[in-house]
Amino acid sequence: MSLKDRILNLLGLAMRARKLVTGEELVINEVRRGKVRLVILSEDASLNTKKNIMNKCQSYQVKCLQFGSRHELGWAIGKDERVIIGVLDSGFAKKLKDMIHESDEGENL
């Protein structure tokens, strides 16, 4: 199993454990409330979305990484396409951060 598949599987596990929020508005609200430990943005997110999310993450000191396509992220968590995922659990966030950096696919934003 490739590292990318393991990352997507871990996202699915986090979703089943109810440790993820998805959708721009929900993620931004949870970032504001200090609940989000990591934001994952799809590589095919629009420039406007990227800018909006990166600014929000910077002002609240939340790590933001780019990984996968909207199709892959949605598939991993059993939903339709997803452009933005907020990880609520620090354990999942740390593991995902490490794995995404290791894959070198995660562009650090």
CA dist., res. 1 & res. 84, Å (int): 24
Which residues neighbour 86 within 8 Å (Cβ) at sequence distance 6 or greater?
Answer: 20, 21, 22, 26, 27, 30, 31, 35, 36, 38, 39, 40
Per-10-residue mean pLDDT of the chain, 109 residues long, equals 93 97 95 97 95 95 95 96 97 96 64
Q: Amino acid letter at 77?
A: I
Structure tokens at 11: 């996202």
Q: Say what the pLDDT of residue 103 is.
A: 83
Domains of the chain with bracketed CATH: 3-108 (3.30.1330.30)
Q: Say what the pLDDT of residue 106 is.
A: 46
Which residues neighbour 90 within 8 Å (Cβ) at sequence distance 6 or greater?
Answer: 37
**Which pTM does this prediction carry?**
0.92
